[in-house]
Structure 1
Amino acid sequence: MKPPPPKLAFVLVLLLTSCLGLTASTNDDLASDREALLSFRAAVGGRSTLWNVTETNPCSWSGVTCVSDRVTELRAPGWGLNGPLPLGLGNLTQLRALSLRRNALYGQIPNDLANLLKLDSLYLQGNRFSGPIPEFIFGLQSMERLDLSHNNFSGQISPGFSKLSKLVSLHLEGNQLNGSIPELDLPLLGQFNVSYNRLNGSVPGKLSGWPVEAFAGNLQLCGKPLTTACNGTGTQSSKNQLSGGAIAGIVIGCLVGFLIIVAIFYFLCGRKKKGEQGANYVASTSRSSQAVEVAKGSLESSSAEYSIAQKGNVNSKHLVFFGNAVKVFDLEDLLRASAEVLGKGTFGTAYKAALEMGVSMAVKRLKEVIVSEKEFKDKMDEIGHMEHVNLVPLRAYYYSRDEKLLVYDYMPMGSLSALLHGNRGSGRTPLNWETRSGIAVGAARAITYLHSHGPTISHGNIKSSNILLTSSYEACVSDFCLAHFASPASTPNRVSGYRAPEVTDTNKITQKADVYSFGVLLLELLTGKPPTQALMTEEGVDLPRWVHSVVREEWTVEVFDLELLRYQNVEDEMVQLLQIALECTVQYPDKRPSMAEVASQIEELYSASLKHGLDEF
């Protein structure tokens, strides 16, 4: 065979060399991506530790997507990641989507993410990132979806957001952003929310067409679409309404002040008459509470506010805070706050306390709890150190012999129960499949986290009214680990709709009983029926038995909420979630799955929904 001509030989060698060089370059790039992911894994842990690091190709790792042997997506939602986000992810230069939502990441966003010029989706919501929103984000010209909500970002909202001309979704709610909102020019924007920050001034004209919910919770914000007019520019009717409100406030304030003075006078007289200082002090304050209750027309909130205040003074107690959090309020601030009853639960009454500095907290006033201070403190320490993005954190507590208060973050969207069963009329916004399945995932993760603390730890009171929601409808589980304080004689009937059949003592609820209650919660999400609505049929069958009987008759579609049946493309997912709920609510505890198994199954189902494009991710 004749050798190739010299020119042809040269061309062949050149092509071969180029191909080998390209292969080597591709392998080097993938190796660089792998090293970046391993550094990420080492820094923040969580479920990323399950990656098989013996695999040289990271494209097979959970949450990692590759195209042409380069990492293009990293999705790790709710993986239990913890710590500052390390440098290194900026080496994933082909990354298009990064989702680290619902973890426990904190600190500032590392500046090497400025290298991700192809990034079009960044989801960091539900962490504890802090500091100002970094300027380099405004150089990511491919960005379409940006969610930084429910973190601790501070500083002002930069007009630099207008540089992100492709942006279709911007979520900044639930942070500590201050200053005014700039006039943003984002023509493609389809989702926008800056609620529950510390913003002030007027809503810019280009943003005034968004609904009120996009700006709620910013007490010093004014202008359309808000009802608060700016600098007297409102209509005459709005001025009149404001004036009337001010007058009403002055009248009520004077009346309350007068009654308090009368109560103090009455107390001093009674003290002189009886000579029993401690007993008369408490009794008098109880009577002054009753007087104020009548004046304010709010029996529950006023009673809590005034009687607790006086007993707190007697015992010289203070709020006990957890961790190294900055104590921006104390017991006196809490007791001066205007109180609004949120609801009466198994363990006591919950109030919204609007503090003078513009912060709202949820305060639970425990009842029928008779324990020693040491026992109470030990339990509160255990609860206070449980941190998970899907748990409502316990911030502080107060103990005295007669009063026990728990202070939590206030959740503005209320409970799942209210959302599911509140207004079913024509003006109702239906709770869609994406939201319901997301709530199921969040609640399952939180309860699994609780169970991971040991075989004797359980939630003890799982029900839809204890699933609270953030402004983006993320589930946050409340009232956890309080069953220890329950009075067996007084609580069984209150949670009967969710109680496992083997439970006879409600302060000794096992993890398998939690699984049963969670299964009932899933059935409630799927059917739209409250489990405490005992008469499902003429025979009075409870929710789990009713669903089991319908499924046995092969009428499965009959169990689903009519509001869900409009989503026909998710029927398979609905049936699968129904099957998980039925497995949770079997009669015998040993035949129920663990919460870890339940959470894993729901996450797989949720991930499948996301791949079908059923949820914005």
Structure 2
Amino acid sequence: MAALPTLLLLALALAITTTNAAAQPTPPQRERLALQAFLAGTPHERSLGWNAPSAPSPCLWFGVVCDASNATVVAVRLPGVGLVGALPASTLGNLRGLRTLSLRSNRLSGPIPADLLALPALRSLYLQGNRLSGRLPGDLPSSLHHLSLSGNELDGEIPESLDGLLELRSLRLDGNKFSGALPSLSALRRLEVFNVSYNRLNGSIPSSLGSRFPRESFAGNLQLCGEPLDRPCDESPSPGVVIPPPVPGNTKKRRLSGAGVTAIAVGAGAGALFALVLFVLCFVHRRRRRDANTNNKMPTPTPTRGFTPSTAPTSGDMGDITSSSKEIAAAAAAAASGGGESQRSRLVFVGNTHKDGYGFDLEDLLRASAEVLGKGGGGTSYKAVLEDGTTTVVVKRLKDVAAGRREFAAAVEALGGVEHRNLLPVRGYYFSKDEKLLIADHLPDGSLSAALHGSRGSGQTPMGWAARVQAALCAARGVAHLHAAHGLAHGNIKSSNLLLRPRQGDPDAAALLSDYGLQQLFAPPPPSARGGGYRAPELVDPRRPTPQSDVYSLGVLFLEILTGRSPAAAALDLPRWVQSVVREEWTAEVFDPELVRMGSGGGAGEEEEMVALLQVAMACAATAPDARPEAPEVVRMLEEIGGGSGSHGHGRATGEVEEEDRPWGTPPAGATP
């Protein structure tokens, strides 16, 4: 009899539970069917577990979020879950209460369904990192706060109707094929994040946008001009402007007679003959004056301090400052005593160097003190402190240069025109028969290689995770700019060529790539030269780098950041090693023990970012070149890991944008493929 009250209590509890479950609101059947139709119409690589018995309500499904009363679906977040193909119409467009939709980093293609863009409550739409095509409709919901469509294949003009989305906080359209003029968007007072880089836009940048956003927001549009780009708008007509034809009736007045044409031809011939005679006289005069100067030339005085001229370079030790001075002094002394060669060989500045305060000459380099910074395959780099004590530069003494004077000068002049916050500017060069020098800025914080590998066992604090992610993002941005804005391949991406800046400066310029675009100048490597390291497997001749080989090198650089292992180590194929460890022991064994040991308080979020960067690195280091992402796409993936400018960057909008800082989605443990 004692058991009877217990059974009654259990039955009562069961009845109460059943009653509460029945009273609990659930989304309408229409929304459930819409979600199931979307999943059935979109091929996907992983099961999401939406039909699992443990999740009877859509509010319990992976990636689906309902409102507080579980009455309607308000968010669908399925980033990076392997969705493939076209977005089916009449599916997600039936979720009338949907506020946030995130399908980023999948492989969706085709146009964006019109009913999806007509959702009345939609506030945040994240479709970046797919293969969507077609035009961007002009009738977007006025409720939008965040629109991110970067990294797709959308084309056509950017609609003027975007100026009516008064609540818009962030607009990302970069990395598409948009063309035409850029709308002013002057009414978007709340816009905080804006990017249309790497499209096909033309014309002038509206002042309402150029005064609010940095140049990176507009980079990669070769026909776009005006502030903040260093490309002034000229007076020539923009593409699409029709030049009016000549006014009828004036044609005869402009037509020249036969006699007039003959007179012009005779005059041009006489002028050319006169110019030729004048050139010959000037050449003879300069030749005689040069011979006289050579016969009366005084011996070169010996400097009183710093460099000691030497007739031959001294090999020297890495830490021997005296021998370092002798090595670089040999190059400078050659110009001071080179006879006829010295008349043509001089220190030449390129780009905007003179505007930045560079005014020294070869004699100043001759008197400077120097020390070796490092030696690589392209030559030796020196830190040179000029005699005034206020100017410090890096002088790279190149070796095995096969290019002639004109080819060398043209290549370096082109590099002098490259300007980007993540690329070390080339300041000048010197070319003679025996010596070739490059001049660049000196960054006192050293390289990523020294930060990663130099502190081990020395008691110094290892490089933290936030700084590593920022360095990776800076490297990717520099490479993307070379590829998109200049059509150049870097060709020599490695951690020793990624130089660090003081951390109190601009976080987006925390690291700069150096030694870019130089490979074409060198002689062919010997047949016995070993590949591997950072070099892509398909790159037989290092003088012919490609954008795909640069992306491979970026992938290896990211793996070095994650693992703490140097690809330059003998017999270490870093991508293959990582693949083997992940396959056998999973990812925890891949990461740098010093990084894991620091544990900088990032917790699970930091671990997720490390896994996300590992995925990006392995995609970049794919064996097949066609399987690798393009550099702008790599930038976008890294920005997603770190929220736009690294984990502690700036420039991101508030609210729903922070949700997009998360890495790719992972289905729940109960979902099986």
Band the TM-score falls in, shorter-chain normalisation: 0.5 to 0.7
Deviation at 1:582, TM superposition (A): 0.4
Q: What is the distance in 2 between the residues matched to 1:324 and 1:454?
A: 17
Q: Is residue 2:393 matched to residue 1:361?
A: yes
| Structure 2 residue 589 is the aligned partner of structure 1 residue 558 | yes
SS of structure 1 residue aligned to 2:192: strand
Task: Give 3-state SS (helix, strand or coil) of 1:553's partner.
Answer: helix
Preserved CA contact (<8 Å) 2:489 2:550? yes
- Aligned equivalent of 2:165, options 57, 65, 68: 57
Q: Give the alignment of 1:547-586 within 5 angstroms.
A: 547-553=578-584, 555-565=586-596, 566=599, 567-568=602-603, 569-586=605-622
- State whether structure 2 residue 572 is matched by structure 1 residue 546: no
Q: Once the two structures are superposed, what CA deviation does each residue of 1:461-496 show, in whole Å capped at 9, x if it has no partner?
A: 110001011112711000001111233325975763
Contact persistence 1:463–1:521 (CA under 8 A): yes
CA displacement, residues 35-94 of structure 1 (integer Å, 9 cap, x when unaligned): xxxxxxxxxxxxxx9976422125435369xxxx9856734699699xx99986999xxx
Cα contact 1:458–1:509 (8 A) shared by 2? yes
Is the Cα contact below 8 Å between 1:397 and 1:407 reproduced in 2? yes
TM-score (norm 1): 0.54
Q: CA deviation at 1:529?
A: 0.8
1:398 maps to 430
Measure, in 1, the Cα distance between the counterparts of 2:427 and 2:334: 22
Compared with structure 1, are the counterparts of its residues 599 and 513 closer, same or farther at alpha carbon in structure 2 (3 Å cutoff)? same
Partner of 1:350 in structure 2?
381
Give the Cα separation in 2 of the matches to 1:492 and 1:62.
53
Report the number of matched residues.
381
Alignment of 1:417 with 2:449, yes or no, is yes
Equivalent position amino acid for 1:580 in 2: V
Determine which of 285, 295, 304 is the counterpart of 2:328.
304
**Cross-structure match for 1:340:** 371
- CA distance in 2 between partners of 1:487 and 1:516 (Å): 23
State the distance in 2 between where 1:89 and 1:594 align: 27
CA contact (8 A) 2:169 2:192 kept: no
Compared CA separation, residues 511 and 76, structure 1 to 2 (3 A): same
Q: Is the 8 A contact 2:305 2:367 kept in 1?
A: no
RMSD (Å), alpha carbons: 4.1
Q: Offset of 1:391 from its aligned partner?
A: 0.3
Q: Which amino acid aligns with 2:478?
A: A
Unaligned runs of 5+ in 2: 1-155, 173-186, 220-227, 231-301, 652-673
Partner of 1:197: none
Would you say 1:477 and 2:513 are equivalent positions? yes
SS at match of 1:476: strand
* 2:594 alignment partner, SS class: coil
Deviations 1:215-261 (A, max 9, x none): xxxxxxxxxxxxxxxxxxxxxxxxxxxxxxxxxxxxxxxx9859999
CA contact (8 A) 2:374 2:380 kept: yes
User: Structure 1's 320 and 553: CA in aligned 2 closer, same or farther, altered over 3 A?
Assistant: same
Q: CA deviation at 1:292?
A: 11
Q: Deviations over 1:412-469 (max 9, x none)?
A: 11110000000113632221221111111111011011112566x3111110001011
Task: Read off the aligned partner of 1:513 and give its amino acid letter.
Answer: S
Greater displacement, 519-528 / 323-332: 323-332
Corresponding residue of 1:524? 560
CA deviation string 1:585-607 (max 9, x = no partner): 11111211111221221122221
3-state SS of 2:402 partner: coil
Q: Secondary structure at the match of 1:487?
A: coil
Q: Given that residues 127 and 389 in structure 1 are in contact (C-alpha distance below 8 angstroms), is that contact kept between their aligned partners in structure 2?
A: no
Contact kept? 1:573, 1:609, Cα under 8 Å = no
Q: Is the 8 A contact 1:78 1:100 kept in 2?
A: no
8 Å CA contact 1:466, 1:479 repeated in 2: yes
Letter in 1 for 2:439: V
Query: Partners of 2:349 and 2:624 in 1: how far apart?
Result: 41
Alpha carbons 2:167, 2:190 under 8 Å: kept: no
Aligned pairs (5 A) from 1:10-409: 53-55=160-162, 56-60=164-168, 62=170, 71=189, 74-75=192-193, 100=214, 285-286=310-311, 298-314=322-338, 315-316=342-343, 317-326=345-354, 327-357=358-388, 358-409=390-441
CA distance in 2, matches of 1:486, 1:532: 21
CA contact (8 A) 1:609 1:615 kept: yes
Unaligned runs of 5+ in 1: 1-48, 92-97, 106-125, 129-254, 264-284, 535-539
Q: Describe the SS at the equivalent of 1:310.
A: helix
SS in 2 for 1:563: helix
Q: Which has the larger radius of gyration?
A: 2
**Equivalent position SS for 1:389:** coil
- Matched-pair contact (CA < 8 Å) for 2:165–2:188: no
Which protein, 1 or 2, shows the higher relative CO under an 8 Å CA cutoff with sep ≥ 6? 2
Corresponding residue for 1:486? 522
Instruction: Decide whether aligned partners of structure 1 residues 321 and 79 sit closer, same or farther in structure 2, where only a CA change above 3 A counts.
Output: same
CA shift, 1:303, in A, is 1.8
Alpha-carbon distance in 2 for matches of 1:310, 1:581: 46
- The residue aligned with 1:235 is none
Alpha-carbon distance in 2 for matches of 1:443, 1:78 = 20
Preserved CA contact (<8 Å) 2:321 2:370: no
Q: What residue identity is the alignment partner of 2:534?
A: Y
Q: CA deviation at 1:564?
A: 3.0
Q: Contact conserved, 2:382 with 2:394, CA < 8 A, in 1?
A: yes
1:533 is displaced (CA, Å) by: 2.1
